[in-house]
Homo-oligomer: A and B are copies of this chain.
Amino acid sequence: MTKNSRAIPVAELVQQARAGQPRAVARLISLVEDRSPSLREVSAALAPLTGRAHIVGITGSPGVGKSTSTSALVAALRAQGRRVGVLAVDPTSPFSGGALLGDRVRMQDHALDDGVFIRSMASRGHLGGLSATAPQALRVLDAAGCDVVLVETVGVGQSEVEIAGLADTTLVLLAPGMGDGIQAAKAGILEIGDVFVVNKADRDGAQSTRRELRSVIGMTDRPDGAWKPPILLTTATSGAGVDEVVEAIEEHRRHLDESGELTRRRLARVRREIEALALTEVRSRFAHLSGDARLDTLAAEVLDGRTDPFAAADTLVETL
């Protein structure tokens, strides 16, 4: 209520977020997520503060232990004194906000740690979906001083590939059995993985899943000096192998820095982001025109045969 009735002290919020106040971080994410009127002001205030955080996407089929692995990674990164952000994206849920999701109980281990920001985000029902809102939330976590931000999909779906598009480093999780090798190949996640993790390594079949994966990955032609995605084994529930994953993530980051690939990936990402925002803006201008007489007039002219749809569309584009 007061949220809309008085000016939001954006500069103050940004300052507080930088100082590590979780409420300020949460508030800023809400502002970008809800496309608040101060969204542009927030975006402008964050701009000079972004670009430091290493964005790590975590993806994998349901049941591989994504949420447990994320929690274990948070613990390992915290043990190194890193500030960590977690963005849990649920593409199927219309609910969003600061509250932890029901099945993410393990993340509560970190709920009281002020070096960790946890945020869940729904993508359904948001204008432009995941691709429009998640980058903004990542900017907030980045500007708030997170060293590493883990982006995790809750649930299934095509958003896996979208997640990879948001991340500097993409972790692909698998589990023994489950026919994951083939599933992964089908979903195209073998191409997006920078680090592969076979979780639940205490179960039968972990080694054979790793072997299977290695042979599939090995078939890919890579240029000299290209990154070779490692395949690691973990048992996220006990924490076994998790430090090695953190190490592999850091190694990939170094590779990205040294090869110039980080800048290339981020440039491509920002380009997509700008294009998506521009299209969203255009679409909303058209929607405004729908309420307008202009589009009605054009439609009536097409219906009468006085003009054709392409000429009408050109006229519409010109009105922008």
Query: A282: CB under 8 A from chain B?
Result: yes
Q: How many copies of this chain does one complex carry? A: 2
Q: Do B274 and A43 touch (CB < 8 A)? A: no
Of the candidate stretches A14-22, A96-104, A118-126, A295-303, the one touching chain B is A295-303
- A298: chain B residues within 8 A (beta carbon): 271, 274
Q: Do B317 and A267 touch (CB < 8 A)? A: no
CA distance A309 to B267 in the complex (A): 12
Determine the residue in chain B with the shortest Cβ distance to A300. Answer: B267
- A50: chain B residues within 8 A (beta carbon): 305
CA distance A156 to B48 in the complex (A): 49
Query: A7: CB under 8 A from chain B?
Result: no
- A273: chain B residues within 8 A (beta carbon): 302, 309
Q: Do B308 and A46 touch (CB < 8 A)? A: yes
Query: A78: CB under 8 A from chain B?
Result: no
Instruction: Describe A's contact surface by its main secondary structure.
Output: helix
Q: Do A310 and B43 touch (CB < 8 A)? A: yes
A21 to nearest B CB, angstroms? 22
Q: Do A279 and B274 touch (CB < 8 A)? A: no
Interface residues of A (CB under 8 A from B): 39-40, 43-44, 46-51, 135-136, 263, 266-267, 270-271, 273-275, 277-283, 286, 290, 295-296, 298-300, 302-314, 316-317, 320
Q: Given A266-B303, A270-B312, A277-B313, 12 more contacts at CB 8 Å?
A: A40-B310, A43-B308, A48-B305, A48-B306, A49-B305, A135-B309, A273-B309, A274-B295, A274-B299, A275-B313, A281-B314, A281-B317
